[in-house]
Chain A
Amino acid sequence: MTTMKNLHILIALMVLWLLPQVGKAQQYTGTSGLIHVPSAEMYHEGDALIGAHFLNKHMMPDVGFIYLGKKYNTFDYYVSLAPYSWLELSYVCTERAREMDAQGNITKWSKDRYASVKIRPLKEGKYYPAVAIGCNDIWTAAYYKFDPNIQLYYMNWYIAATKHFNFSGNELGVTLSYRHFLRSYNGKWNGIVGGITFRPSFFPQARLIAEYTGNEFLLGMDMLLWQHLRLQASVKDFKYVNAGLCLQFNLLGKKYKY
């Protein structure tokens, strides 16, 4: 039943795909990327985003988001900014259960906070890929890296390379990244990760994504509607849906097709 419900949500989001415009987001962290895998793509200079993302319990870290021995679905919200074409900053709050009622419904929440930074030192060229480095939860890591009692659920650093290929107006993007989570309980997502994206010529505003996170395969898509509403939906094992939306504005007043 739950699977059918999730499938209906996914179908509804795919219908929205028929409406105009694009995406390029590792959206649950507020920064650009694939779904769970970071890439070297960047937002446009001046892009500011504020949004929220539903996170399926199957995509959560194995520590910290467990209440009475059970993992639970949750969501996060964020604000992010690309002050320059080579830099992205974001600030994310992920909700954690604090109290549950007898039926297992979460009645009170607290939150885990982290800041992310992403820098692209090398812009994509004709014969070479773009290269970006980044880090999540940089503030906490800087302070508490060597204190094992401090939990760093999302702390990781990465280096990513992305190259796009065009054929007949279609765009194929290939991303290869190396990622390392600081805490061992997220070690399943460590190492070489990557994915491919496809942007069709007949509807370049949308992007299809397939990725390997180091532990699982994800399929998804994202798009930008009416230049201000960004959507992303993904599915793990064709059962577990993650989805989010955000408002996006370009503070330089520029309008981009994608």
Chain B
Amino acid sequence: MEFFAYFCSRFLHINTTAMFQRYQSSQHRLLWVVLLILFFGVSQPKAVSQTVSPGIDFFSGVDFNFRDINYKTQYEFLIRLNPGFKWDMGNHWQLSGQVLIPIVNQYGTEYSFFQINALNVSKEFKIRNLYLKATAGAFNLNTYGLDMKAFLPLCDWFAFEGQAGYVGFVFVSPRWEIVAPNRFVGTIGGDFYLPQWNTQFRGVFGRYLYRDLGFELEAMRHFNHTTASIYGRWSNNEGFDAGFRFIIALPPYHRKHRAVNVRPISNFRTSYSVMYNIYSNRMYKTDPEENERDGWFSRDFLQWGSHTMEPDFIIKDLRKQ
């Protein structure tokens, strides 16, 4: 409580002592109760989910990157295969792994060898209305360590989110090298979702992977199978940046689920940055198929935002049948 009071007074300039004194009066207590009912009372999500029995999925797709930073060349490309697996062990435990295998590499020698993009175990769980996901292992951007994600939907249209991690680096190329975990990272922010327009606004600030402090604002428009977004961000490393992003759920959209499944990767994601600030506002991803459209949590666990839309994939569970 002292920390909360200090945080409010130091960063938000809110006098918590006066706030709690006001709370003592019955009128303000009633106001708080009404607000809590408004936020929490209508926060039951729509049930647009489908559960499938545990199984293991093998998948692959293409990780497509291009950049335009060299005056002598039009574009430089980095195209990699990204095969991986996800083992759903039940009760929202998951073991996942993914590697990146270069096919076309014009980015440089550090990308000429395969990379580990994920090898971790995760668990989704819930405390009251707070959704949590803990992950341990290797993540993308050559990182490994511990990560915790939290999502608190207050109502259908607003939620708080936060992420915290303690990570180090592991490099496969050009030689094996492991840097012990040496940095705390974390972001906190909020999400607005307007269901009438399938539009989502996301704003977060925090300490990012390369020890920079910054914030990011993103506006997303969710369509059938596609999300398009524009974003702006600032970091004390490299200043302002902006760009756009496309996330496309890849067909087939009707799938059969067995104990062992082989399928294409769930989505194609490409992002464009005007300033190409690659050492700013960067945060690792823990899931091999993580993207801004689906968020951090699986669809059958958290129904909020785009998870209340029609699902991208209609899955027929043969094991249940």
Contacts and interface: CB of A to CB of B under 8 A. Distances in A.
Contacts of A253: 224
Contacts of A128: none
A110 B226 CA distance: 31
A251 B223 contact: yes
Contact of A252 (B74, B223, B244): B223
A251 B224 CA distance: 6
A81 B199 CA distance: 14
A111 B221 contact: no
Contacts of B230: 89
Interface string A222-258: 0000000000000000000000000000011100000
Chain A interface main SS type? strand
B217 interface: no
Interface residues of A, number: 15
A141 to B, nearest CB: 13
Given A46-B223, A91-B244, A251-B223, A109 B74 contact: yes
B274 A111 contact: no
A139 B244 CA distance: 13
Interface in A128-161: 139
Interface in B207-234: 221, 223-226, 228, 230
A251 B274 contact: no
Given A48-B228, A139-B274, A251-B226, A84 B197 contact: yes
Contacts of B228: 48, 81, 83, 251
A91 B223 contact: no
Contacts of B199: 83
Contacts of B272: 91
Contacts of A251: 223-226, 228
A166 B197 CA distance: 31
B242 interface: yes
B71 interface: yes
Given A139-B274, A253-B224, A110 B71 contact: yes
A111 B224 contact: no
Contacts of A89: 230, 244
Interface of B: 68, 71, 74, 197, 199, 221, 223-226, 228, 230, 242, 244, 272, 274
18 contacts: A46-B223, A48-B226, A81-B228, A84-B197, A89-B230, A89-B244, A91-B244, A91-B272, A109-B74, A110-B71, A139-B242, A139-B274, A251-B223, A251-B224, A251-B226, A251-B228, A252-B223, A252-B224
